[in-house]
Chains A and B, each alone.
Chain A
Amino acid sequence: MENSFITEKLRKQFSEDILDVDGSSDILTITVASPVSYEVIAYLKENPGLGFSFLTDLCGIHYPDRGLSFGIIYHLHNFYENKRIRIKTFVNADKPAVRTVSDLFSAANWMERETYDFYGIIFEGHPNLKRILNVEYLDYFPMRKEYPLEDPTREDKDNRFFGR
């Protein structure tokens, strides 16, 4: 399956909502507008010509300097054609929410809970969106970039010499 075939089909279906197509990295990467992310993934899964019926991975990412600072990254796989695709969608920090894909893929249930647990991204319509790896009473989302790994009160280590 050619990259151009997939992008053409998606552009035809979603036109303006396909924000970016990047074929330069290892997997075809498509950035879509967050309101249609569910529709794009459902289309990729259910359209007979595409058939991306396996959700390999779902995770979050945080770019505090950007306007749309939270990203959700889906890796889908078509077993028959052995084709992978990466779908990205970005949401803003005020209301980091996107529609759940757990009704399409049962696998997404825990992956979305994990993403919520670490980034605080809300997956609307998720059947059981609560923390999964961290304790339930944790009052922040630890993978966000504003929480540095080292204890900020420490003065004996100079961060310039120890990376981020």
Chain B
Amino acid sequence: MNTDKQYTTLNLGPTHPATHGIFQNVLKMDGEIILDAEQTIGYIHRAFEKIAERRPFYQVTTLTDRLNYCSAPINNIGWHLTVEKLLGIRTNKRIDYMRLIVMELARITDHLVCNSVIGVDSGALTGFVYVFQERERVYEIYEEISGARLTTNLGRIGGFERDFNPAVYKKIKEFLDCLPKVLHEFEKLLMRNRIFMDRTIKVGPISAERAINYGFTGPNLRAAGVDYDVRVMTPYCSYDDFEFTIPVGIQGDTYDRFCVRQEEIWQSLKLIRNAMDNLPEGNFHVDAPHVYLPDKQDVYNKMEALIYHFKIVMGEIDAPVGEVFHSVEGANGELGYYLVSDGGRAAYRLHFRRPCFVYYQAYPEMIRGGVLSDAILTMSSMNVIAGELDA
């Protein structure tokens, strides 16, 4: 009898309908069991960090859109906050609250996509269709605020380009009224569904210790039981004005990641509701003419406004020398911007700390010893976004 075992090498991806993006995994299989995996990434690398070394700051915002494109406004606002930190601009409460509302909306859409896709990958397509209707509502809100839907380029350095219009208030209210019902239904479909639980519990687990060592952040780290959340640890945008709970999991498996995200959606709803109720009066942008574009009317009639308009658009405003690291709680983890300025018009060095680039490297360790179909579920529950992974 031949005792030599034969292993199969399986190419999962780069383009595979179950991987939601261009990810390649070369798997070493013993039958259905995964013995080892090696990821190949970089298929949609677009050299954002290099491009950013040439562009004035406001033009980098459109690059950040294309990182985690499921929640682009968080990236936009995170970048604005970084630049404001470098320039020493302080925003008022109204801007903070408006930003908070938009970021929490983005978090909800991101979690909705991720969680409903976990459902799809375990064979439940229905929930996906339900929640996408609600995601559409948020995209309509973005449309009212910024004019765009997916790559939003939302807000400006120093605030917003315009105030919330009445349609925004109306649409946010509608969204807040409609989502809970849909979310309850969605949870009823999956949360205590025997098939779903069998497919996700103890699938792709990671311990808290390993998760920290691997640089996990966001819902993935919280699912492993570590209550680290940038919104609470280093509050930005007046998050410290609000009370909300950080859900944590126990065993860091696919089911825990699902539940943590689900609870975060409820917490985000609460945050938005509170912020909408307490939205302070004030200006929607800071009074910083050297970075914030003047009114178009003034550009035509006032000398100074015309000069500033020209200087800002051409990127002729020099930034102060310095370096800052600013991070926000992105929908899938700690999204950091490390910005080094040598006093020029553009960044001397800009580095994005992309959460999924950091935690995706744990993937082989999480799927080793499991079966192929579980590996697919593990990947979708990690919320790896190709745009952010490859920058």
Task: From known contacts A143-B50, A164-B54, infer whether A26 and B213 are also in contact, taking CB-CB under 8 Å.
Answer: no
* Given contacts A59-B338, A75-B336, A164-B54, A134 and B45 within 8 Å (CB-CB): yes
Most buried by B among A53, A57, A59, A118: A57
Does A110 sit within 8 A of B, measured CB to CB?
yes
**Chain B residues closer than 8 Å to A82, beta-carbon distance:** 233-234
Q: Is the CB of B315 within 8 A of A142?
A: no
The answer, yes or no, to whether A41 is at the interface (CB within 8 Å) is no
Q: Which of B120-128, B172-180, B302-310, B317-325 contacts A (4 or more CB under 8 A)?
A: B317-325
Residues 46-76 of A at the B interface (beta carbon under 8 Å): 53-57, 59, 61-62, 73, 75
- Complex CA distance for A45 and B213, rounded to whole angstroms: 11
Contact indicator B361/A106 (Cβ below 8 Å): yes
**When the two chains form their complex, are residues A107 and B49 in contact, meaning their CB atoms are under 8 A apart?**
no
Nearest A residue (CB) for B389: A133
> For window 326-355 of chain B, which residues contact chain A by CB distance below 8 Å?
326-327, 334, 336, 338, 340, 344-346, 348-349, 351, 353
The residues of B that contact A142 with a CB separation of less than 8 Å are: 47, 50
Q: Decide if B338 touches A57 in the complex (CB within 8 Å).
A: yes
Residue B212 lies at the interface, judged by CB distance under 8 Å to chain A: yes
User: Closest approach, in angstroms, between the C-beta of B211 and any C-beta of chain A?
Assistant: 10
Query: How far apart are the CA atoms of A117 and B54 in the complex, in Å?
Result: 20
Cβ-defined partner of B325 (8 Å) among A84, A105, A111, A143: A84
Interface string of A69-105 (1 = CB under 8 A from B): 0000101000100101010000000000000000001
Alpha-carbon distance A26/B226, docked complex (angstroms): 25
**A83 CB, nearest partner CB in chain B, Å:** 10
The interface centre, meaning the residue of B323, B327, B336 with most chain A CB atoms within 10 A of its CB, is B323
Quick check: is B228 within 8 A (CB to CB) of the other chain?
A: yes
Residue contact B215 to A107, C-beta cutoff 8 Å? yes
Residue among B340, B349, B362 with max Cβ neighbours from chain A (10 Å): B349
Does B390 have its Cβ within 8 Å of any Cβ on chain A? yes
Measured between beta carbons, the chain B residues less than 8 angstroms from A25 are: 322-324
What's the least CB distance linking B271 to chain A, in Å?
21
A118–B52 Cα distance when bound, in Å, is 14
> Per DSSP, are chain B's interface residues mostly helix, strand or loop, or mixed?
mixed
Cβ of B325 and Cβ of A75 under 8 Å apart?
yes
Say yes or no for B147: interface residue by CB 8 A criterion: no
A57 and B351 contact, CB distance less than 8 A = yes
Q: Is the CB of A107 within 8 A of B351?
A: no
Query: Which of B41, B49, B50, B213 lies in contact with A105, CB distance below 8 A?
Result: B213
8 Å CB interface, A9-66 against B? 25-27, 29, 53-57, 59, 61-62
- A105-B213, A106-B214 given; name 7 further pairs at CB < 8 Å: A54-B212, A57-B336, A75-B338, A106-B210, A106-B361, A163-B56, A164-B53
Cβ of B74 within 8 Å of any chain A Cβ, yes or no, is no
Contact partners of A109 in chain B: CB under 8 A: 361
Q: Which are the 10 A-B pairs with shortest beta-carbon distances?
A: A107-B215, A133-B42, A59-B351, A133-B45, A57-B353, A110-B361, A106-B214, A149-B54, A61-B349, A106-B213
Question: Contacts of B357 on A, CB cut-off 8 Å?
Answer: 110, 114
Distance in Å: Cβ of B91 to nearest Cβ of chain A: 17
The smallest beta-carbon distance between A118 and chain B, in angstroms, is 8
User: Distance (Å) between the CB of A10 and the closest chain B CB?
Assistant: 20
Residues of B at under 8 Å CB distance from A? 41-42, 45, 47, 49-51, 53-56, 85, 210, 212-215, 226, 228, 233-234, 315, 322-327, 334, 336, 338, 340, 344-346, 348-349, 351, 353, 357-362, 390-391
The answer to whether A129 has its CB under 8 Å from any CB of chain B is no
Chain B residues within an 8 Å CB radius of A6: none
Give complex CA distance A78, B345 in Å. Answer: 34
Least distance between B366 CB and chain A CB atoms (Å): 12
**Bound state CA distance, A128 and B214, in angstroms?**
16
Q: Determine the chain B residues whose CB is within 8 A of the CB of A61 once the complex forms.
A: 340, 348-349
B60 to chain A, nearest CB (A): 13
Chain B nearest Cβ from A50, distance in angstroms: 15
Closest beta carbon of chain A to B205's beta carbon, Å: 16
A26 to chain B, nearest CB (A): 5
5 contacts between A and B (CB under 8 A): A56-B327, A75-B336, A79-B226, A107-B361, A110-B357
Tell me how far the C-beta of A24 lies from the nearest C-beta in chain B, rounded to whole angstroms: 9
Given contacts A26-B85, A133-B390, A163-B346, contact A56 B336 (CB under 8 A): yes
Residues of the B chain whose Cβ atoms lie less than 8 Å from the Cβ of A84: 325
Query: Is B215 in contact with A133, judged by CB distance below 8 angstroms?
Result: no
Nearest-Cβ distance from residue A71 to partner chain B, whole angstroms:
9
Contact of B51 among A75, A133, A149 (CB under 8 A): A149
